[in-house]
Structure 1
């Protein structure tokens, strides 16, 4: 699988998959395609609270243009659960190439619902997804305020 995948690529692929089992396997494959998270980024500060599995998300500000102020962010992440690793890949696709303002305003959970993923996640996974989205939004807000 080529990365970065866009959310439009994922939507198109989902449209070709008829049943949930195929979509589930596809999400797992997306997760397997993520680059590995360097061991030095698996810190307590990067650990996402509220997830049933182990999840680490590392973000850093990116400066695009001559303003000198960050307007985008780079994201890396991993999980010890295959399906959660796939959810991280979908999140990264949702936020790919967005400005910090756009990240804060993006309804990632709405996109998960549109894809039909939300209805197939356990309550624990849904809570973990909400925690990951909240963390990404908080990091973007902190970078905007800096």
Structure 2
């Protein structure tokens, strides 16, 4: 599945909920399904700057693809992390850099998150793109 196909799948999943409380409940459920990070990964090195809650994002470069792991200490934010990882993990740096994450706007997240959560989400996306840029440079040097 492509990044865009996964995003469309997420949009469809959220479209079954009319009420935002139901969408929040679904986000919390997604967060609860996210595997917890190893305590050794919960360091300042992996902490996302600009998030009101604490969010850790860890990446590994495996066989030309970026594998992301993440967690948050806030239940809704943990759901956001789960959604982002579902879209961008196990992708090449080029895939991440060449695709916009349109699902965030499409499911109405930006309008329904507090300004601080919205800024945190943008910080997570920015960090994902920075990892992709860095790994892209590494893979270009390796060729």
Question: Does the pair score TM above 0.5?
Answer: yes
The structure whose residues are more often helix, as a share, is 2
Of 79, 85, 92, the match for 1:86:
79
- 1:10 and 2:10 matched: yes
Displacement of 1:53 in angstroms is 0.5
1:75 to 1:96, Cα distance in 2 relative to 1, 3 A? closer
Partners of 1:142 and 1:94 in 2: CA distance = 19
Cα deviation for residue 8 of structure 1 reads 4.1
TM-score normalised by structure 2 residue count: 0.87
Matched residue, 1:53: 53
Measured after TM superposition, the shift of residue 86 of structure 1 is 0.5
Q: In the alignment, is the contact (CA less than 8 A) between 2:51 and 2:120 conserved in 1?
A: yes
The alignment's C-alpha RMSD in Å is 1.3
CA–CA separation in structure 2 for the residues paired with 1:115 and 1:27: 11
- More deviation in 96-105 or 40-49? 96-105
8 Å CA contact retained: 2:70, 2:81 = yes
TM-score w.r.t. length of structure 1: 0.85
1:133 aligns with 2:125: yes
Rounded to whole Å, the distance in 2 between the matches of 1:96 and 1:43 is 20
**Partners of 2:16 and 2:68 in 1: how far apart?**
28
1:31-58 deviation per Cα after TM superposition (whole angstroms, max 9, x unaligned): 1100110001111110100000111000
